[in-house]
Amino acid sequence: MYVPTKLFFTKGVGTHREKLTSFELALRDAQIACYNLVRVSSIFPPRCKEVTIEQGLKDLSPGQIVHVVMSESATAEPNRLVAASVGVAIPRDRDQFGYLSEHHSYGQTAKSAADYAEDLAAEMLATILGVEFNPNSSWDEKREIWKIADVITKTKEVTQTAVGHKDGLWTTVVAAAILLP
C-alpha cells in the first residue's frame, strides 16, 4: 500500500507561441518538468509532513512517476490575468486525512485566488469533520468557527498568477502539491 509521507508545494509560469510548450516551461519554472506527473484527487494523507522543495526534489529522479495535485490555467489573450492555486487544510488530529484543493481562474488576483483555494480546502475538511457553518459566511467568519471547533490546525496555499503576453503568446501558470513516498 502506497500512502505518501511527505509533500512539497511549487509553482511556475511559462510563455511560448505553442500552448503545450508554455505548459512545459511552467513545469520547468516549478522544477517538476522532468517527472512523469500523475494527477490525483485532493486528499492530504494522514501524518504527511510538508518539506521544502529542495528537500523534496532530493527524493526524486528524472523520469520517475510522481503523484501531484495540480492546478493550471492558460491564456493567449493579451493582458488577461490567469491564476492557479492549490490550498491545503490539515486536521489537528494528524491520524485523520486533510484536504488539498485546486483552483484556476481568469481575472482574479493572486490574493483572491489564494484565499479561495485555502477556503475551499478548509471547507471540505470542516464538513467531513462535522463542523457546521453557513457556506455563505465570509472567510473570516468561517475561520473563526473552525478556530472555535479546534479541528483544523493549519491552512495554507501556493498560488501563481501571470498576465497574458502582450503579443498573444500562450501564458500558462501552474501550482502544485507534489506527493512523495
Q: What is the DSSP string of 73-110?
A: EEE-STT-EEEEEEEEEEESSTTS-EEEEEEEEES--H
To the nearest whole number, what is the mean pLDDT of the chain? 92
Residue 174 has pLDDT above 80, yes or no: yes
Question: How high is the pLDDT of residue 139?
Answer: 62
Residue 151: per-residue pLDDT: 76
pLDDT tier for residue 1 given thresholds of 50, 70 and 90:
confident
Task: Give the per-residue pLDDT at 146.
Answer: 61
The overall longest dimension of the chain from CA atoms, in Å, is 50
pLDDT, mean of residues 44-71: 97
Domains identified in the chain and CATH numbers: 6-180 (3.50.20.10)
Average pLDDT, integer, range 63-68: 98
Q: Which of 162, 55, 68 is nearest to 106 (CA)?
A: 162
- pTM of the predicted protein model: 0.91
Cα–Cα dist 7/52, whole Å: 8
> How does pLDDT run across 22-45, given as a tens digit for each residue?
999 999 999 999 999 999 999 999
Share of the chain above pLDDT 70, in %: 90
pLDDT tens by residue, 93-143: 999 999 999 999 999 999 999 999 998 998 899 888 887 766 666 666 766
Ramachandran angles phi, psi of 111, nearest 5°: -65, -45
Of 28, 2, 3, which is closest to residue 13 (Cα–Cα)? 28
- Half-sphere exposure in the Cβ direction for 54 (13 Å, CA): 0
Q: Which of 60-64, 139-143, 175-179 has the lowest mean pLDDT?
A: 139-143
**Alpha carbon 83 to chain centroid, angstroms:** 11
Cα–Cα dist 170/181, whole Å: 34
